[in-house]
Amino acid sequence: MNRLSIVILGVCLFGWVNVPMEWADQWRANIAGAVSPAWRLIAMQTAGVGSLAHAPHGSNESPERLALRSRIDAMEDWISEEKRVQAQADSISTLLNHKNADKLKADFLRRAEREKQMLALRYASMPAQVIFRDPSSWSSSLWISLGEADNQSVGRTVIARNSPVLIENALVGVVEYVGETQSRVRLLTDAGLVLAVRAMRGGVQNREVSHQVKNLMEHVRVRSDLFSTPEEQEKFISMLEAFQARLNDWEEESLAKGEICGCSAPLWRSRGLLLKGVGFNYNTADEEGPARSLQSGQPVGVSSAPGRILIQPGDLLVTSGLDGIFPPGIPVAIATKIAPLKEGSYSYELEAKPAAGDLNDLQSVFVLPPLGWAGLEE
């Protein structure tokens, strides 16, 4: 290689690493849009037969049929989301109109108001398809089929930088770039996305289980063939109803606060879903309660008050709103392992798994308006 070639190569490399971020993002968006049809076809052919229960084993379906199945799945997700939102609205309305509502604690009313705000965001959400996912950043980001053009079509800003991205009721990431017809989502499994969360027990922790129990009861009521006698069927349904009644108790505890992030670096397709949490304690009082001792969980300065375990496996970690990006109350992860306190430590460290489950096969998501959305004030 002669000297001129080395100079040209050096100039090209210098220009590449100094390309303005706006240009780089636009190029990536154009590339994602261009390869999206082929990528989706490959993704559906790879995962469609195995993941779609109604597809016959070993079938070789045409691209048109695979695309139709994808649209049907997206519509089913949308209908499921509508049912979930309506059920949440009915629950809030029933509780707020209860005959003893005036006797409810102030913290319950505050949480109910928070739920109403979240419900407004859910009603304004927009469904999107996953259109591209680069293997080199598989667990860090993906591209979805919404952009600025969709904001213009509905007459309001929904898809924007820092818009939360959910599947069902759980967070999967946040929008970090908005193009004309597609946007990039930073996944919560990426090491660069740090979320402020807090541990919850009861209430919101039980709500998703209650939803699953309700679906199970609907199936069991019409499947008498699963039971030996009608009495056995009724007994099982009664047991499920009693269990659901316990889950519907809205009493909940807000405990340790901390930060959580993923472990994925943009190297190659990584299937690791491990999340790590740091700084979990309750050292400062807030609207949810007083400051608590790290080890005993007792309110600071009140030795006679009962203590609480501040964080334990199984706790639901939800957004706290302290990061200024996510509204409070969105399920993020479930704590799986709590590290023992080290001598002199002032907080707990933990491991968790995403509340949304496996993020490797995402096909469709819902995008919420960003924090501070004007629709909340209307």
Report the CATH number that the domain containing residue 119 is assigned in CATH.
2.40.10.340
Question: By percentage, how much of the chain surpasses pLDDT 70?
Answer: 66
| Least confident interval from 17-31, 276-290, 345-359 | 17-31
> Does residue 94 share a domain with residue 183?
yes
pLDDT-derived band at 377, boundaries 50, 70, 90: low
Please tell me the total count of domains within the chain: 2
> Alpha carbon of 86 to those of 10, 75, 92, 168, 250: distances in Å?
59, 16, 10, 13, 17
- The pLDDT confidence band at residue 53, using thresholds 50, 70 and 90, is very low
Amino acid identity of residue 101, one-letter, is A
Exposure of 145 in the CB half-sphere (CA atoms within 13 A): 14
Tokens (6 digits) for 246: 């316990």
In a domain, 3, yes or no: no
Per the domain annotation, does 94 fall within a domain?
yes
Same domain membership, residue 159 and residue 69: yes
Together in a domain, 185 and 244: no
Treating both helix axes as pointing N-terminal to C-terminal, what angle do 21-51 and 63-96 enclose, rounded to 10 degrees? Answer: 100
For residue 186, how many C-alpha atoms fall within 13 Å in the half-sphere facing its CB?
Answer: 18
Residues 69 and 177 in one domain: yes
Q: What is the pTM of this model?
A: 0.73
Choose one of 249, 266, 281: the last residue of a domain.
249
Distance CA 125, CA 122 (A): 5
Residue 150 lies in a domain: yes
Closest by alpha carbon to 73, among 364, 361, 357, 362? 364
Domain that holds residue 232: 204-249
Residue 59: its pLDDT value, please? 45
Phi, psi dihedral angles at 242 (to 5 degrees): -65, -40
Same structural domain for residues 72 and 108? yes
Which of 102-111, 117-126, 145-154, 348-357 is predicted least confidently? Answer: 102-111
Question: pLDDT band at 252, cuts 50/70/90?
Answer: confident
Q: Does residue 296 belong to any structural domain of this protein?
A: no
